[in-house]
Every structure is written in structure tokens, then in C-alpha cells.
Amino acid sequence: MSDVLHKARRVLKDVFGYDEFRLPQEEIVEHVCGGGDAFVLLPTGGGKSLCFQIPALVREGTGLVVSPLIALMDDQVAALRENGVRAAAIHSGLDAKTSWRYERELEEGKLDLVYVAPERVLSERFQEVLKRTTLSVIAIDEAHCVSQWGHDFRPEYVQLGQLVDIFPDVPRMALTATADAPTRAEIVEKLKLGDAKVFTRSFNRPNIRLRIGIKDEPRKQLLRFLKDEHRGDSGIVYRMSRAEVEKTAEWLAKEGIRALPYHAGMNAADRKRNQETFIKDEGVVMVATIAFGMGIDKPDVRFVAHLDLPKSVEAYVQETGRAGRDGLASDAWMVYGLQDIALVRSMIQNSEAPEERKRVELQKLNSLLGLCETATCRRQALLSYFGEILSEPCDNCDTCQDPVKTFDGTQAAQKALSAVARTGQFFGVAHTIDILTGNETDKIRQNGHDKLPTFGVGKEFDKSGWNAVLRQMVAMDLVGVDMARYGRLVLTQSSWDVLRGNRKVEFRSDAIRTAKKEKKKLPVVLGSGVSDAVFQKLRALRMEIAKEQGLPPYVVFSDRTLQEMASSHPRTEVEFSQISGVGGVKASRYGPRFLELLRTL
């Protein structure tokens, strides 16, 4: 073993309390400690932070971490300080006196790591400070922000490539959890990492169960999900609009769920208070727009729920990846409907973005819809988007646990398209369904549509069945929805392929049925041999200490560390220090109180 790797392993144990690196952390750390550049693509919860934190502690100087959000910086700095690391975050949320103090400490070499926003790194004044500093490593976190085709584009990230010219001898790292092939290529190009070694790990998060369903009174569906499967758990509910965030949070609170809102339209003090409550307390449900995003590093989020469609597979992975970062069983749950598809498509098409960007975003949306409508293993479909092959079905998604059947729906699609064409592409879903099912409404008679050849030809399905058919057709772009013209159904190029008999259409038969199915319960979170009573008492002590210190509970110890305590039941300081996640500083700081409790159990 090299001296560098030996030192890195000692830091891993003494500072962070872990005995072993995860793959491919050790290889990344050894490469960067040796002075090499790296492009690191690891899934959310895959341990990216240690990949730059440990080189910063092993190499001489201060590690510079470029991060896009204040909350993300502050969260990581708080955790590092608890482990005895000299860390600081310099951002706009600080007063001038504190910023100057941190800058002085940076110049004097009194910091092991410093976190800054990209705008500050690029400022001439701060670059002068950095030039008077010995840097050990430069880490650009959330590197997908550099891509104009990505889901979190930040213009200032594009200029970070100039750091190689200013600090040519400092190893640089770009790290991200979500990037398809074009985005990866753009990161390498814009950040001038052509010679960097690329490290990737599977995007598979097997502890997260994937579940996507159809909207049918979505609030009630959500409430049933929360009360039946996640009562008392921390989780996130994503909504598309600020208004829906407020309404949903208020409604959940009335239903006995401890729910808080979060969106960019709230004043900063309320946003900060709600976020801190979510991070520091347990059992809080945050209802949020995607403004509540990358800054969340809470490991014990047991579920992420979507009541509206994300815009892409990358966004879905990024958002759902906030669940189960501690590796324990968690849920990614989503419901959507035809109107969601139409709304997101309309938002993209009617935006002021260049046509090329619109085209890319529509392609990404179609890939997400393909994931939603798949009849095969959902995880296999998700991983294939990132070029990864899962050889066997995962058995931890809804399509595996409740296999989906399909049927040849070509004739049904032709009937629906014919009805749209014969009415001049002038009517919406409800009217089209009335034609197909032969429902003789006043509107049908007034327009003479009861005389059409398609009137009543679709009685094989009821109204809900045709809704499912049309939703799947919209998802497959076999029919469009013009939101600017009151939701009229319109034909697409693909529509004509079906009408002319040049394309076969397969539909999910489960989506056509209306009967509700009972979902399997989430797997038990506690590991084998772990007493729930002991675990809960350890959690209570952790919360007591966290409140005393003004810290989130997981910064004291993670759930996984508490589980190991409950299972191994250490009695001595030496045994306690061997628990995974108990570093030297924490063993000294918290060991006596936990050991005192454990000796009584």
C-alpha cells in the first residue's frame, strides 16, 4: 500500500469513522492525492464528498470546493466541523466581518476546506486571495450545472474552466450525480478536463423502490401513501407551482401530517426556517418546488413523492435521489396524468428558449414518459437511459412486484385519431371520449357529431378506459394537446403513421382497468438483529444531543450508525470507537453518553 493511500485510510477512520472506502472512492482518492485530475460521476448518496474532502486533508494546503447553493455549503461545513475539520463556507449569507475573517484564515492556511459559490471564485478580488493561498485540490461539485442542455444550467459554471490557467499545478475534480452522454462531454469540454481520469459507478440505487402511477384523486392517493407506509418519516413532496405547494402543505397539515411549504416566492426568513426544521427535526414532510433541491444533504429522507411530472429523467433521478442517502429502504413515488404531460410539453414549446434547446427538452420529456409508461422493469428502463445495463429485473419497483401486461391497441388508437381528425382537431379529451363511447350530449348534437362514422365505435372502453388510452397516446406523441387553444387534441406526424397502418401501438392493459390495487408494504428499515426499542432510545438521545448542539440529528450520528450500535451493543470506549461512522472526535464528544445509555439496555 502506498504512503498516500495509507494516510488517506487513516483520515477515513480517524476523522470520518469509516473502516473501508466504497468503490470507487479509494481509487479516486489515490489518483487525486497523487496530483491527477478527475471527472467523478457517482449516484446521489454514492459518497462523492469524501472523494474531495479526504484529498484536501491529505495533501498540503486548503481544498477549494465550488458549490452552487448556500444550504449545501453550510450543511457540509457543519458536518465537517463536527468531525474536527477546519472548514468554512464563504457566501453572500455572511456579514462582511465574518467573510473577511474566513478570507484571512484562508490566506494564513488555517482552513482545511473552504466552500465558495462560482460567482465568488470568478471575482478578481477573491482570485487574488486564492493566489496567496496554497491550494491542495479544486473540486467543482454539481458539475452538470455547466451544461446548457442539463436540468440545472448555471451560466457562471461555464467560466470555471479558466481555473486551470490560474492554478495549473492544482489537481481539479468535477463531480456530479446525473449526466447523460452529451452532458458528460460538455462538462469535460467546458471545464477543460480532457486529460482527467473518468470514474463512474452504477446509477442503480437498489434501496429506493420506484413506483409510478396514474392520478386518481391525487391528494387522497398521497395521504394514503403517507399514512399507510411513511407515518412519522421525513420526506419530500414535489409540486410544480408555488400555489400548489402552499395548498398541499396546508391540506396535509389539516390531515395530521407535519408538513411545511418551501418555494422561491416565500420570504428568505420563512424559507430558511422551514428548511432548518426539516433538516434538524424528524418526521417532517417538506412540500416544495424544485427550488428545494441540491442543498439538501439529509441522509434519512425515507421518501420522495411527485404529484407533478419532472421535466426529464435527469431531474427525476436528481430529485428522487434525495431519498435513502443512508442506504436504507426508501420510496420514490409519483402519480401523473394526461394534463401533466400536456402542461409540461406546453411549457417547453411556449418558452422563449432557442428552438434547439426546446427540441432537446422535448426529447428528454419523451424519455421520461417512456419510463412512466414502460411495461418492463422500471429500474432497467431508468438505467438504460444512462447507458447502463441491469441484467436482471430489480424486484423493487412496481412493474416487477405487480407485472404489467400489454395488448395490441392499434385499432383503438386509430379510432381515437379518426375522431380527432373528423372533428377538425378542434375539441378536447372529454368531447372526443363522448364521441367514441356514443354519449349523446347537447354539444355532440349541436355539432352534428352524432352523425360521424366514429360516433359510438369505442364502446369497448368506458370513459376512464379511453382517458388511459389517450394519456398513453399523448405520452407516445401519437396525439398532441394544444394548451394554448383550450386543450384541443391535434394530430402529430406519428398520428398519420398509425392512421395509415404503418405503425403498431402497444398499450399497458393495467392502465385501462380502473380497479385499485393494494401496494406491498415498504420493507422493514431496521436490519436483522436490531431491536426497535433500543434503536428508538438511541434516536431519542441523538435528538437530545442534536438540540443541545443546534445540529441536525444525522450530523451527530446516522441511522445506520445507530443501527450498528443497537445491534453490536458496545460496552467499552474501544468497542464504541469501532462502530462505523464513529470518528475520533465523535467518540470523545458523544461516546460517554451513548455508552451510559447502552449499559442500561
Q: Is the pLDDT of residue 202 over 50?
A: yes
Residue 513's pLDDT is what?
47
Residue 223's pLDDT is what?
96
Which has the minimum average pLDDT: 32-36, 190-194, 573-577? 573-577
Residues 89, 157 within the same domain:
yes
Residues 266, 222 within the same domain:
yes
Residues 92, 114 within the same domain:
yes
Which residues, 6 or more positions from 106, have their beta carbon under 8 angstroms from its beta carbon?
62, 88, 90, 114, 129, 130, 133
Residues 264, 383 within the same domain:
yes
Residues 391, 411 within the same domain:
no
Residues 314, 432 within the same domain:
no
The C-alpha cell that represents 559 in the structure block: 441511522
Residues 234, 280 within the same domain:
yes
SS3 content of the chain, % helix, strand, coil (to 5): 50, 15, 40
Which domain-ending residue is among 401, 429, 449? Answer: 401
pLDDT, tens digit (0-9, with 9 covering 90-100), for 306-330: 999 998 888 899 899 889 988 899 9
Which has the minimum average pLDDT: 52-66, 125-139, 524-538, 565-579? 524-538
pLDDT tier at 376, thresholds 50, 70, 90: confident
Residue 516 lies in a domain: no
Give the end-to-end CA distance of the chain in Å, rounded to a whole number.
Answer: 41
Best mean pLDDT range from 30-34, 181-185, 365-369, 537-541: 30-34
Residues 414, 545 within the same domain:
no
552: left (phi over 0), alpha (psi -120 to 50) or beta: beta
Say how far apart CA 472 and CA 243 lie, in whole Å: 28
Which domain-ending residue is among 401, 424, 456? Answer: 401
Residue 517 lies in a domain: no
Residue 586 lies in a domain: yes
Please name every residue paired with 332 in a beta bridge, in sequence order, or none if there are none.
210, 304
Closest CA relative to residue 158, chosen from 88, 68, 93 = 68
Residue 523's pLDDT is what?
43
Closest CA relative to residue 525, chosen from 211, 220, 199, 303 = 303
Which residues, 6 or more positions from 399, have their beta carbon under 8 angstroms from its beta carbon?
374, 375, 376, 377, 378
Q: Give the DSSP H/E element, type plus range, for residue 416.
A: helix 410-422
Residues 550, 586 within the same domain:
yes
Mean pLDDT, the chain, integer:
88
Range of the domain at 568: 532-599
Cis ω before 523 (30° cut-off from 0): no
Say how far apart CA 140 and CA 117 lie, in whole Å: 10
Q: What is the mean pLDDT of residues 470-488?
A: 80
Say how far apart CA 400 and CA 398 lie, in whole Å: 5
Residue 525 lies in a domain: no
Q: Is the pLDDT of residue 149 over 80?
A: no
CATH number, residue 445? 1.10.10.10
Residue 527 lies in a domain: no
Residues 374, 479 within the same domain:
no
Say how far apart CA 8 and CA 12 lie, in whole Å: 6
Strands, E assignment, 289-415: 303-306, 330-336, 406-408
Q: Is the pLDDT of residue 234 over 50?
A: yes
Which domain-ending residue is among 383, 401, 419? Answer: 401
Please name every residue paired with 238 in a beta bridge, in sequence order, or none if there are none.
288, 306
**C-beta of residue 319 within 8 angstroms of C-beta of residue 268:** no
The C-alpha cell that represents 226 in the structure block: 403517507
H helices within 447-531, ranges in order? 463-475, 493-499
CATH number, residue 105? 3.40.50.300
Residue 526 lies in a domain: no
The C-alpha cell that represents 16 in the structure block: 470520518
Say how far apart CA 28 and CA 31 lie, in whole Å: 5
Residues 464, 341 within the same domain:
no
Q: Is the pLDDT of residue 488 over 70?
A: yes
Residue 296's pLDDT is what?
67
Q: Is the pLDDT of residue 515 over 60?
A: no
Residues 377, 315 within the same domain:
yes
Q: How many domains does the chain have?
A: 4
H helices within 502-552, ranges in order? 532-549
Residue 241 lies in a domain: yes
Q: What is the mean pLDDT of residues 38-57?
A: 90
